[in-house]
Amino acid sequence: MDLAADHAKQRIAFGQPVAAFQGIGWMIAAMAIQIEAARQLVYRAAAAVDAGVAGREVAPLAAMAKCFATDVAMTVATDAVQIFGAAGVSTEYPSSGNCGTPKCYRSSRARTRSSVISSPTRCSGARIDPGRLVGVS
């Protein structure tokens, strides 16, 4: 997301930075919101483990965090490719290097395709009783 936001600030289109266009600004804001939400869900699951919660008690939190974070990774990588435009897929630009958008996109895509993550995690999430989540009153 940071690379995409920096690119949007530097790329000029129609006489202004691409980041100045409302739709791009909304997209970058949505990316930041989703990343922070995923981060907090992962932190909550990790805090439960640190507090000694284990097994079936922490499994729903871990499943939700894993599922949501991988979905966010894919969404953010897809949005970043859109913000980069041709620069996101061309080998002529630094963004396509070792830490560039195409690599992140492929990595996110591989994670969401994995049956280990998608279907079983969603199935375990479907059986979650909100009243039994750790830390929920």
Q: Residue 29: pLDDT above 90?
A: yes
What CA–CA distance (Å, rounded) separates 26 from 103? 24
Predicted pLDDT of residue 128:
66
What is the tens place of the pLDDT at every residue in 92-130?
655 454 445 555 555 555 555 544 445 555 555 556 666
Q: What is the pLDDT of residue 137?
A: 44
Contact indicator for 70, 110 with CB cutoff of 8 Å? no
Q: What structural domains and CATH numbers belong to the chain?
A: 2-130 (1.20.140.10)
Please give the pLDDT value at position 84.
Answer: 87
d(CA 119, CA 41): 19
Q: What per-residue confidence (pLDDT) applies to 42? A: 96
- The model's pLDDT over 39-73, given as tens digits with 9 standing for 90+, comes to 999 999 999 999 999 888 999 999 999 999 999 99
